[in-house]
Structure 1
Amino acid sequence: MSAPMQTQREQLRAIVAGKSIVRAQELRKAGIAGSTIQRALDDGDLVRIGRGLYQNPQSDFETEQTLAEVAKRIPKGVIAMLSALAYHGLTDQMPRKTWVAIGTSDWSTVSDYPPVRIVRFTDKYLHQGVEQQRISGVDVPIFSIPKTLADLFRNGRLVDRSVAVEGLRAALDQRKATPAQIADAARAGGAWRVMRPYLEALTFNG
């Protein structure tokens, strides 16, 4: 005998199992009807957290999951600046908005959840030092530690210099990046002239 076919509700449960968030587009592609999604919402098997974005109520919500949600909403974006710094554990500050870098001509999405802070990078800077991190079943592009530090020093008008210096100090103290890696990223990222005196002082004094 052949195995019984899954109901749409069972298919939906299978899709969201092991994930914290899922897009309506994913469910539609799997053949899940809107009425099935609505019943799952009514029964508490699914939680709507934004337009076309749902959360598995069985998953433990963590701050990092916000990054996964943003990655789904802005697939061409890269987690950047303060949000990348926080992800790498180099600041105690938790930004109220998720910082996302996009291209100079990329379309900027507007949504109230999760709140985002868009920064526009030229292609030269947008594609440097991108790491893919697996968060809540989602591949999230996040700038590396050296690249993030370079961006913070290069964009002094957006972030206070003290935040960049403390991030640099933390990266060195925690040995999450070497002075050479940081210097190379700063040169490639147009931040070496600004960062150099701080890096040299922290390295020589450390």
Structure 2
Amino acid sequence: MELSLGVFRRADAPPASFPDLLAVAYRNSRAIVCLLSAAAVHDLTDEIPLAVQIAVPRSSRPPRISFPPTEVLRFEPSTFELGLTYLEAAPGEPVRIYDPARTVADLMRLRHRVGEPIALAALHLYLRRRDARPAELLKIAAALRVYGPVLHAVDVASAG
């Protein structure tokens, strides 16, 4: 079964829960699923991403992936793996993805790109989760130089 141009899985392989993410991971092993694609996986948005959003280090050449539709963002190498976790896109086939806290911090950092309402909604959904770690979110926000806006949004969300 072809996932992407030149990327195949065995026909008898178990079905993939996230075939598009798996295809992109096979096309570029250093890429990390980010922003709305990560938010959708972590149930932090109702938005359906139009393309798989991935991050690569700013110092590397961005991959060219035509299918599935992919949007490549270039992140600072010093914080590139901050908040990195793995998602089992298919049994025994992990994909690199940012954890929920990093995803929210990135959405807040790039809210001019994704839309402030989407970023704030993701923050609110994150803070309602049982596994929410606001201190970790603020630590990541500080590393990404978006501490002030995230702290303000957390304060507003906590007051309401």
Q: What's the TM-score once normalised by structure 2's chain length? A: 0.90
Match of 2:53 in 1: 99
Match of 1:51 in 2: 5
Work out which of the two has the higher radius of gyration on C-alpha atoms and give 1 or 2: 1
Match of 1:169 in 2: 124
Distance 1:183 1:49 in 2: 37
Match of 1:4 in 2: none
Match of 1:119 in 2: 73
- SS class of match (2:48): coil
| Number of residue pairs aligned between Structure 1 and Structure 2 | 158
RMSD over aligned CA atoms reads 1.6
2:59/2:77 contact within 8 Å kept: no
Match of 1:195 in 2: 150
- Per-residue CA shift, 1:61-110, capped at 9, x if unaligned? 54x22111111111111110111111111111110101000011212222
Structure 1, gaps ≥5 residues long: 1-46
Percent of counterpart pairs with the same letter? 25
Which residue identity does 1:86 align to in structure 2?
Answer: A
- Per-residue CA shift, 1:29-87, capped at 9, x if unaligned? xxxxxxxxxxxxxxxxxx2232221134454354x221111111111111101111111
Distance 2:61 2:112 in 1: 23
What is the CA-CA distance between 1:174 and the residue it aligns to?
Answer: 2.3
- SS class of match (2:113): coil
- SS class of match (2:114): coil
- Per-residue CA shift, 1:154-190, capped at 9, x if unaligned? 1123210111100010011123312222222211221
- Per-residue CA shift, 1:7-35, capped at 9, x if unaligned? xxxxxxxxxxxxxxxxxxxxxxxxxxxxx
Mark the CA change 1:57 to 1:93 in structure 2 (over 3 Å): closer, same or farther: farther
2:139 maps to 1:180: no
Q: What's the TM-score once normalised by structure 1's chain length? A: 0.71
After TM superposition, list the pairs within 5 Å mapping 1:108-147 onto structure 2. Answer: 108-136=62-90, 137-147=92-102
Match of 1:3 in 2: none
1:91/1:166 contact within 8 Å kept: yes
